[in-house]
C-alpha cells in the first residue's frame, strides 16, 4: 500500500476533490440564500474558502479522502451545507432548486475542464490519448508541467462528472431525492420525506445508489469523452 504511494498524485487528487466539494456546497448555500433560506450564509458556508467547509465535515473532507487514496488509489469523501428543514418543507420547489445547484456546479467544472482540454489541444499542449481512463482524459505532448496539468484536468473532468451523476440519483441522502421531492404532490412528498428521513433508509439508499452508479457511470463517462473528441473511436 505505502510502497506505491505517490505523493504528487495524491496532492493533485486532493486539490481537485477539495475544489469540487467546496464549489458544490457553496452552490447549495448560494442558491438557498437567493431563494430565501440564509442558514448556510449565516454559518459561513456561502464561500469558496475551503476552511469553513472542512471545519463542518473534517472526517469527510480530510480523513476519508486520505484513507481511500491509501487503500484504493483514488479519493472519495463528503461535505455538507446546513439548511432550514422547515423552509424546505414549506417551499419544496425552491428546495429542489437548491439541491439541483450542487450537481449543476459539478457540471460547470466538467465544462471548464473540457474547455481547458480543447484549448490545450488547440495550442498543441495536449492531445487525445490512445486510451481513456478516469485520470487520463487528455495527455501532454511532452513531460513536465504540461503532463501534470493534463492529469489535473483529467481528474477534474472525471471526478465532477461522477459527482454530478451520483448526486442526481433520486435516493436519500443524495441531492436527487430533494430534486424529485420538488415535483411530487404534497402528500407523496410527505410520504417520501418520511421514508428517507429514517437513518436506515438513508444508508440503504447510499448502497443502492453506489451500485446504480457502478452500472451507469461507464457509459456516461464514455459518452462525455466522445463528445469531447467528436469522431473519436473510444469504446
Catalytic residues: 25
> Position of cell 475542464?
113
Quote the CA–CA distance of 221 and 61 in Å, as a whole number. 24
Q: Which residues of 142-154 are buried (b: 16+ CB within 10 A; e: fewer)?
A: eeeebeebbbbbb
> Position of cell 453506489?
210
Of 176, 208, 173, 177, the C-alpha closest to 192 is 177
Of 40, 63, 65, 69, the C-alpha closest to 52 is 40
Amino acid at each position: 500500500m505505502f510502497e506505491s504511494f505517490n505523493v504528487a498524485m495524491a496532492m493533485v487528487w486532493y486539490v481537485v476533490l477539495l475544489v469540487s466539494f467546496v464549489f458544490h456546497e457553496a452552490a447549495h448555500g448560494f442558491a438557498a440564500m437567493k431563494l430565501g433560506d440564509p442558514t448556510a450564509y449565516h454559518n459561513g458556508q456561502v464561500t469558496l474558502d475551503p476552511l469553513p467547509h472542512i471545519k463542518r465535515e473534517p472526517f469527510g473532507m480530510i480523513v476519508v479522502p486520505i484513507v481511500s487514496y491509501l487503500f484504493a488509489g483514488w479519493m472519495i469523501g463528503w461535505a455538507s451545507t446546513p439548511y432550514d428543514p422547515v423552509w424546505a418543507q414549506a417551499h419544496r420547489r425552491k428546495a429542489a432548486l437548491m439541491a439541483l445547484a450542487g450537481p449543476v456546479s459539478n457540471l460547470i467544472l466538467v465544462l471548464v475542464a473540457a474547455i481547458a482540454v480543447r484549448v490545450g489541444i488547440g495550442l498543441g499542449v495536449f492531445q487525445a490519448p490512445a486510451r481513456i481512463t478516469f485520470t487520463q482524459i487528455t495527455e501532454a505532448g511532452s513531460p513536465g508541467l504540461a503532463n501534470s496539468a493534463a492529469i489535473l484536468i483529467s481528474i477534474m473532468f472525471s471526478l465532477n462528472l461522477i459527482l454530478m451523476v451520483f448526486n442526481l440519483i433520486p435516493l436519500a441522502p443524495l441531492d436527487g431525492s430533494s430534486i424529485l421531492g420538488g415535483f411530487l404532490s404534497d402528500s407523496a412528498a410527505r410520504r417520501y420525506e418520511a421514508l428517507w428521513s429514517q437513518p436506515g433508509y438513508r444508508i440503504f439508499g447510499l448502497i443502492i445508489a453506489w451500485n446504480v452508479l457502478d452500472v451507469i457511470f461507464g457509459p456516461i463517462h464514455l459518452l462525455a469523452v466522445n463528445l469531447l473528441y467528436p469522431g473519436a473511436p473510444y469504446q
